[in-house]
Structure 1
């Protein structure tokens, strides 16, 4: 008889125990048929067992050695497809030899934002990402402009992905139960292949203004002009009516336009 894996607090492990929920999460990858699947943090394989019959290659990445040992014993057919690594340090180009894949998982809540930032670095390789995260995070990445949840990840993810909030999951279906509710999301690559602005600067602008989200844009953007020529007066630029807005009032496209105007002003 297989010995259960003990959930480890330092790895943020909360093992899903409801098989119906696990099957529903696994079915979210069907939006991208044929593509291979990479599951992050399979634990004891509750989601994996519903991915394996989908007639496509499935690989799992798991940093916990105890979980790896369990998976090898429970599903010997996974032997060559278990990657005992840290997902955040992996070169995703080598997972399926440079071929696109679907990313899924019951993601550790404390690193889910880092997982999505990494996904953005490999966006041309990941046309579809699904999985379970903290409900607050799910609301954040799916949020629309003008809402309290709209923030850094909302803008940066929605530039490249259409985000769907699929369903909510209660704490009681986990071992141990988390202190928060969870939610399942799906992100599908949109048809944008050029950012439309300096992408590095866009990230800096979005992070800068949302870190001071209660302030007007012209206040939180001032540091961008402090490093330019001392002889250059940016008063006219900073007095633009749009810069009296707060960051949550700008759409993703408006952030792209703002980034272009900032780059022109400081160059």
Structure 2
């Protein structure tokens, strides 16, 4: 029995064993005992994770894949969760213990997977996975680049992002129309920001919603004082600011609105 890839779930099953092993080997396995694989399909990556000294858990929305995994990976037994990663209470699933995330992520929800991981960043010291190449490059992009945006800044505020390697369409069933890219996120040692973190998210998202405008114009809704808006940082466009400068900008706004 094999599982038929389902278009509505964005399934492209990896069939190259070498690439599956390479992705499994991206994890350092340090400072955590558990790893959660998202969307294992027929378990091509899962079997290489099971060779490591770690507790492997998998979360899969497709009931046909779940049946396949239960029949072929008896040692996973009670660690196969038929659920939607985006709606799951992961902290209670792991009793507030740290865990890594890994997967060959469905393209249609890959950005949402990163945003969800950022919400539970205190639980996730490490994250590796396969994305559409452009999305992986966007997450790892630096200031000044056209692809640098909300996803880049928010991710890199908390994690060190590394683009590892590119994967061609031919190693999937069915082949996607684009190349894929594997990246790794390693949480920074000091990942608590020295500013209001909710405000930081709001500043970054608002700034990039009108990325062609200067911050003086795109952040108008914050009702900032003329004195603050005279700061040279407000003459720049959001893609010109580094992650550190966005943190500094948030601190300036925080002080201004509290006066």
CA-to-aligned-CA distance 1:174-205 (integer Å, 9 cap, x gap) = 11111111011111111224211111111111
1:230-245 aligned at under 5 Å gives the runs 234-245=225-236
Structure 2 residue 214 is the aligned partner of structure 1 residue 216 = yes
CA-to-aligned-CA distance 1:57-110 (integer Å, 9 cap, x gap) = 100000100000001111122121101111111111123322111110001111
* Structure 2 match to 1:83: 81
Instruction: Give the direction of change, closer, same or farther, for the CA distance of 1:34–1:100 in structure 2 (3 Å limit).
Output: closer
Scaled by the length of structure 1, the TM-score of the pair is 0.93
Structure 1 residue 31: Cα displacement: 5.3
1:65-144 aligned at under 5 Å gives the runs 65-144=63-142
Q: 1:16 aligns with which of 14, 17, 21?
A: 14
Distance in 1, Cα, partners of 2:58 & 2:216: 46
> Does the aligned pair in 1 maintain the 2:13–2:173 contact within 8 Å?
yes
After TM superposition, the structure 1 stretch with the greater mean CA deviation from structure 2, 88-97 or 44-53, is 88-97
> Does the aligned pair in 1 maintain the 2:195–2:250 contact within 8 Å?
yes
> Does the aligned pair in 2 maintain the 1:141–1:153 contact within 8 Å?
yes
Cα root mean square deviation, aligned: 1.4
Match of 1:77, SS state, is coil
Distance in 1, Cα, partners of 2:250 & 2:174: 44
Unaligned runs of 5+ in 2: none
* Structure 2 match to 1:254: 245
> Does the aligned pair in 2 maintain the 1:41–1:63 contact within 8 Å?
yes
* Structure 1 match to 2:2: 4
* Structure 2 match to 1:230: none
Q: 1:205 aligns with which of 180, 203, 206?
A: 203
> Does the aligned pair in 1 maintain the 2:40–2:59 contact within 8 Å?
yes
After TM superposition, the structure 1 stretch with the greater mean CA deviation from structure 2, 33-42 or 4-13, is 33-42
Scaled by the length of structure 2, the TM-score of the pair is 0.96
Structure 1 segments of 4+ aligned residues over 4 angstroms from their partners: none
> Does the aligned pair in 2 maintain the 1:32–1:102 contact within 8 Å?
no
Unaligned runs of 5+ in 1: 226-232
